[in-house]
Chain A
Amino acid sequence: MTETVLRTGAEKRRLKIDMRALSPFIALVVLAIAGALINPDFLTASNILNVVTRSAFIAIIAVGATFVIAAGGLDLSVGSMAALTAGVMILTLNSLGGADVGTLAIGMLAAIGLSAACGLANGLIVTFGRIEPFIVTLGTMGIFRSLVVWLAAGGTITMRNFELRELYRPVYFGSIFGIPVPIIAFLVVAAIGALILYRTSFGRHVVALGSNEDVARYSGVPIWRVRTLAYIIQGICVGIAVLVYVPRLGSATPTTGLLWELQAITAVVIGGTALKGGVGRVWGTVVGAVILELVANIMVLSNFVSEFLVGAVQGAIIIIAMLVQRSVHRGR
């Protein structure tokens, strides 16, 4: 796809890219209409807000994944990283013991610090170890997951201080001007992500690295720095997602964040970012995350899909949505 795009004229290329960027939004609208037809309760404000709020974790993580994938990399460790970060954050809050904003701020800093460090580790091993990112992050995925299991002794890490929980709770359940805080959080993260990817030289370096590493190197792109930074951005995004995740249930378990890496990657691809790198679409990614959550929601709201077949129908819908997208920009 990218090759053909590169060969066409500048005018035509812009039109094509626009259609590609637009198609996830079209898929979203089609799904929303389908949902409304299946169950009128789908269109209630509370249901829509629930779904979009729930998609916040994956959306925020997937913004980071957009950078990594656009740069030609892959990060399978994000789900485990989220669980570990959530666990360490809660343990930090518990050991501080206070129930004030200061305690919360230290816990949040610990979370962001740890997830950024995890991202840095992934980045350094990929860059300097010269190992396939698939293998590196598969390894760290196991490491992060075991660490959280070990910290929890197989059980649950729960916020002990009830007052602190109540203080923190609005970060997931609260809203500003009627918009839930997690939605605001992922819009802000996506806006900053888009700004970095589209408007900075670092962003252009990411895309250049992903489309052709050799060309990028000869053009003077600082390969190792760009690649490592992409993984650090991914780490920070995981940290931000955890900040929104922890107030929801106030706990982390060994099953926290299970398979989030696949959901994040799926969101990125639905959003129009090429899995082989070279193209990054931050807003498409966010829409992709909402689409994933929407499909799950429609499944539960529908009355005719047996609970045994939910997975199959879900998979089919995602594939059909991608086919619709493909036909939309092929038709042009």
Chain B
Amino acid sequence: MKTTLLKIAVAAGLMTGVATGAMAQQKNVTIAVSIPAATHGWTGGVVYHAQETAKQLEKGYPGLKVIVKTSPDGAAQANALDDLMAQKVDALVVLPFNSDELTNPVREVKKRGTLVTVVDRGLKDASIQDIYVAGNNPEFGRVAGKYFVDNLKQGNVVVFRGIPTVIDEERVSNFEKALEGSGVKVIDKQYANWNRDDAFKVMQDFLSKHPKIDAVWASDDDMALGVMEAIRQAKREDIKFVLGGAGMKDMIKKVMDGDKMIPADVSYPPSMISTAMGVTAAHFYTNAPMRGTYVLNAQLITKDNAKEHYFPDSPF
């Protein structure tokens, strides 16, 4: 329900934005975008999509200026916010490094009357944000669990966890909830830190320990790649498929090409920054109401819709 609403809102926003773009020519608006620097694959994707979207929006809405600023850590991001505010901006789109450190700096920005859009990681005080765009971690686990129930129906599954965080806990607990009452059984779980090398090692050990594994929930594309290499080395034929997550281009490519071991993926798109920027821009150039919370679907990516999720130029 929420997601349908979101799609309509974004679609309406973008369309009216383009339509009224010509009329609103004289309107000058500056949007600042503050995001973490590319320190791992996913944030690398965020930076890429932010820069691409900035170009597109500036083209679509004459008079719009988008400033994208990346920061290597929370303290640096707080400083960057100060610098951005000195340039007099109308709106701030921020993907905070962490909730604790950035709640107050963002509140200061808000006090100046700036429109605030928060992305992915929420602030301590939800009243600061005008617009909130986030991925859906519980659903990420649910969609993956449902895929196993629908496609495996019966069998033994091993689960790879990420780094012990709220995100990881939400994903895994909802995955297990989705399996309840089905014939799919989790026979082992282990942390592999969203890391390819660690996943390779853990999978080698799982293969030694369990004589029959029917499928693997790697829960992340980096980990899935490590898992695949370990399976290949062991020459085991019992594993029917590996399900990753996030939407790394190498994995989407495999889904697109019909790789039998990688039949699907679950999205947690770094391009959610683009959604946030689009909605924020639409706020200024359309009459449609934009304030609110947008929770993005964790979508199941299969051969049919993989094309929509494939960005060959993105580093992620």
Contact = CB atoms under 8 A, between A and B. Distances in A.
Interface of A: 39, 41-42, 44, 46-47, 50, 54, 149, 152-156, 158, 173, 248-249, 251, 253-256, 258, 296-297, 300-301, 307-308, 310
Interface in B204-231: 204-206, 208-209, 222, 225-226, 229
A308 B172 CA distance: 13
B182 to A, nearest CB: 22
B153 interface: no
Interface stretch (B36-44, B79-87, B132-140, B141-149): B36-44
Interface string B223-252: 001100100011000000000000010100
Contacts of A308: 164
Given A249-B197, A301-B209, A154 B204 contact: no
B234 A310 contact: no
A154 B36 CA distance: 11
Chain A to chain B: the 3 pairs with minimum beta-carbon distance, closest first: A154-B38, A154-B44, A155-B315
A46 B40 contact: no
B309 interface: no
Interface residues of B, number: 39
B315 A249 contact: no
9 contacts: A54-B201, A54-B204, A149-B38, A153-B44, A154-B37, A154-B44, A155-B314, A253-B41, A255-B193
Contact of A300 (B38, B206, B316): B206
B191 interface: yes
B65 interface: no
B204 A253 contact: no
A41 B233 contact: no
Contacts of B234: 46
B40 A154 contact: yes
Given A153-B44, A155-B44, A301-B208, A249 B229 contact: yes
Contacts of B307: none
A301 B188 CA distance: 10
Given A149-B38, A153-B315, A158-B250, A248 B200 contact: yes
Contacts of A156: 41, 222, 248, 250, 315-316
B157 interface: no
Given A155-B316, A254-B40, 6 more contacts: A42-B208, A155-B315, A158-B250, A255-B196, A300-B190, A307-B161
B250 A154 contact: no
A155 B45 contact: yes
Interface in B144-174: 161, 164
Contacts of A301: 205, 208-209
Contacts of B195: 255, 258
Contact of A249 (B43, B161, B164, B196): B196
B194 to A, nearest CB: 8
B189 interface: yes
B202 A300 contact: yes
